[in-house]
């Protein structure tokens, strides 16, 4: 009787509080060229050994693992990409707990490159600026830019060009670099934040006249609360160096933030809200639009007739312009580094909202970027017990539905945010020249 009780307790413990795979979910869809996947899991028990099994109808692979992560860096996984469905299972070597998920291999590849920031788990304004570049052709991400005691806040990339918002010793600079012509520019605009390059690469949107209040916390899930008290949107012409505020997106009594271009460059979409009151809580945040109108701007109007949530932010157009993705959360203390948030999709033609299936409930699903073919969404998410934000990829189908996501970047001691899909690794393959230029201008 005692042994039967132990067996039953072991089964219940395993299923309710035991081992769980966190980098994949049931029915996750992976790109056809994901050669070096990451398998991660949580376990209530520490310092034990595991057996990781990869199985399909035609082949099987077993690997002994110490710790809660296995990153394929050899070509062992490539053979499974020929299959339509793969089973991934992890079990303790004593079989006291296990978990298993079935995933699918898509016919489509992810051929783009992603550039993203690495930030320390807790807010540290004097940390080094670290930017990495990820490609599915490489076993591990590559270091793209490293600047001592600097902040590279927002960044944007066009074909053969990069725009960085850099701050060192309270001195914020706008930095533009053309890889094609080795042209570097830098300028002071006072306090500014988000930057976004136009589809043709000739103009840049900036959030100017920024003012914010930040309160730091010793909470890895929400390390700080930051609310903006001022912000207006301007456009910078790369060739002429001229900077203008955009009519309709520079009202003094409201805050305009996180601007993006429509794929045709004719419309600018952004978030807008009133400054917070004495309660130090953010007023409702909604998504608005103006015509670009050759840099003149125009009358602002809401993008949605009715928003699906009180706080909607970080808008992004799909490459074909059919959808607008955005993030929603309880952002009354700011929309950065929230414990929980979800990515939504708006069908522009049908005027229909959808909370995307790629989300995991109760965790942060936030910063995101579309693949160039519109088939994949890259986004930051906090999944698992370590509280660190990783980079995930999810398949988005023609009708706007999406599959459960897969983790592709998982640093051990850093969080991943601000992922940006760039055209090709051939276009932006090294940030060394930019790094040298930035170090030079701050001497």
Q: Domain ranges for the chain, please list them.
A: 2-105, 113-441
Mean pLDDT over residues 327-341, rounded? 93
Distance of CA 277 to the CA centre of its chain: 30
Do 113-441 and 2-105 have the same topology in CATH? no
- Give the bridge partners for 230, in sequence order: 211
pLDDT of residue 344: 98
Confidence of residue 16 (pLDDT cuts 50, 70, 90): very low
- Give the bridge partners for 287, in sequence order: 271
236 touches 206 (CB < 8 A): yes
230 touches 208 (CB < 8 A): no
Q: Is 374 helix (H, G, I), strand (E, B) or coil?
A: coil
Q: Does position 15 have pLDDT exceeding 60, yes or no?
A: no
Note if the pTM is more than 0.85: yes
Confidence of residue 7 (pLDDT cuts 50, 70, 90): very low
Nearest CA to 361 out of 342, 378, 377 is that of: 342
Q: Does position 46 have pLDDT exceeding 70, yes or no?
A: yes
Confidence of residue 443 (pLDDT cuts 50, 70, 90): confident
pLDDT of residue 426: 55
pLDDT of residue 2: 40
- Give the bridge partners for 254, in sequence order: none
**Average pLDDT along the chain:** 92
Lowest mean pLDDT among 3-7, 303-307, 338-342, 343-347: 3-7
Nearest CA to 404 out of 371, 356, 362 is that of: 356
Mean pLDDT over residues 231-247, rounded? 96
pLDDT of residue 263: 97
pLDDT of residue 6: 39
Convert the pLDDT of each residue in 157-172 to its tens digit.
Answer: 887 789 999 999 999 9
Task: Look at the domain 113-441 and name its fold.
Answer: Neuraminidase (2.120.10)
Number of Cβ within 10 Å of residue 81's Cβ equals: 18
Pick left, alpha or beta for residue 258 (phi over 0 → left; psi -120 to 50 → alpha; otherwise beta).
left
Q: Does position 321 have pLDDT exceeding 80, yes or no?
A: yes
- Relative to beta strand 29-30, strand 98-105 is parallel
Top CATH class of 2-105 equals mainly beta
User: Residues 270-300, buried b or exposed e (16+ Cβ, 10 A)?
Assistant: bbbbeebeeeeebbebbbbbbbbeeeebbeb
Nearest CA to 395 out of 77, 107, 55 is that of: 107
Q: Is 430 helix (H, G, I), strand (E, B) or coil?
A: coil
CA 391, 392, 393, 399 torsion-angle sign: negative
Convert the pLDDT of each residue in 403-432 to its tens digit.
Answer: 999 999 999 999 999 999 986 655 555 678
Rounded CA separation 144/117 (Å): 10
Nearest CA to 51 out of 98, 87, 7, 86 is that of: 98
Q: Does position 207 have pLDDT exceeding 70, yes or no?
A: yes
In order of 111, 238, 392, 428, the CA distances from 423 in angstroms are 9, 19, 19, 8
In order of 159, 318, 326, the CA distances from 28 in angstroms are 31, 21, 21
Mean pLDDT over residues 272-297, rounded? 89
Convert the pLDDT of each residue in 399-409 to its tens digit.
Answer: 999 999 999 99
Q: Does position 11 have pLDDT exceeding 60, yes or no?
A: no
pLDDT of residue 364: 97
In order of 16, 130, 134, 138, 352, the CA distances from 115 in angstroms are 37, 11, 6, 14, 31
DSSP string of 324-335, one letter each residue:
EEEEEE--TT-S
Mean pLDDT over residues 270-294, rounded? 89
31 touches 81 (CB < 8 A): no
Q: Does position 295 have pLDDT exceeding 80, yes or no?
A: yes
């Amino acid at each position: 009787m005692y042994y039967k009780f132990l067996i039953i307790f072991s089964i219940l413990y395993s299923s309710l509080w035991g081992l769980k795979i966190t980098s994949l979910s049931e029915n996750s869809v992976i790109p056809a060229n994901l050669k070096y996947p990451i398998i991660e899991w949580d376990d209530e028990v520490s310092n034990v050994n595991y057996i990781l099994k990869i199985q399909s109808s035609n082949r099987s692979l077993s690997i002994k693992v110490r710790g809660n992560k296995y990153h394929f860096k050899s070509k062992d996984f490539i053979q499974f990409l020929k299959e339509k469905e793969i089973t991934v299972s992890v079990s303790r070597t004593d079989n006291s707990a296990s978990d298993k998920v079935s995933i699918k291999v898509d016919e489509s590849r992810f051929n783009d490159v992603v550039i993203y920031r690495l930030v320390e788990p807790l807010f540290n304004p004097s940390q080094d600026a670290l930017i990495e570049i990820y490609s599915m052709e490489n076993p591990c991400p590559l270091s793209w830019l490293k600047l001592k005691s600097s902040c590279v806040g927002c960044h944007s990339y066009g074909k053969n060009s990069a725009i960085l918002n850099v701050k060192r010793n309270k001195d914020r600079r706008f930095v533009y670099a053309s890889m094609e012509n080795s042209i570097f520019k830098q300028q002071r605009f006072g306090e500014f934040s988000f930057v976004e390059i136009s589809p043709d690469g000739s103009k840049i949107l900036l959030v100017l006249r920024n003012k914010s209040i930040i309160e730091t916390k010793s909470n890895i899930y929400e390390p700080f609360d930051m609310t903006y008290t001022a912000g207006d949107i301007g456009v910078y012409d790369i060739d002429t160096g001229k900077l203008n505020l955009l009519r309709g997106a520079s009202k003094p009594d409201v805050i305009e933030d996180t601007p993006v271009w429509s794929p045709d460059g004719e419309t600018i979409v952004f978030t807008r809200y009133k400054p917070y009151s004495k309660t130090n809580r953010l007023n409702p945040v909604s998504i608005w639009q103006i015509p670009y109108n050759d840099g003149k701007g125009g009358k602002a109007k809401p993008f949605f007739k009715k928003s699906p949530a009180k706080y909607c932010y970080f808008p992004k157009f799909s490459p074909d312009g059919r959808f607008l993705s955005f993030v929603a959360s309880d952002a009354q203390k700011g929309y950065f580094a929230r414990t929980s948030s979800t990515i939504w999709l708006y069908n522009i033609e049908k005027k229909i909202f959808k909370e995307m299936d790629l989300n995991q409930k109760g965790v942060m699903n936030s910063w995101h970027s579309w693949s160039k073919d519109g088939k994949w969404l890259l986004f930051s998410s906090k999944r698992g017990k370590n509280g660190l934000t990783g980079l995930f990829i999810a398949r988005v189908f023609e009708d706007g539905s999406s599959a459960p996501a897969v983790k592709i970047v998982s640093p051990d001691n850093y969080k991943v945010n601000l992922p940006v899909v760039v055209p090709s690794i051939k276009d932006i393959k090294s940030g060394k020249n930019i790094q040298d230029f930035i170090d030079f201008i701050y001497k």
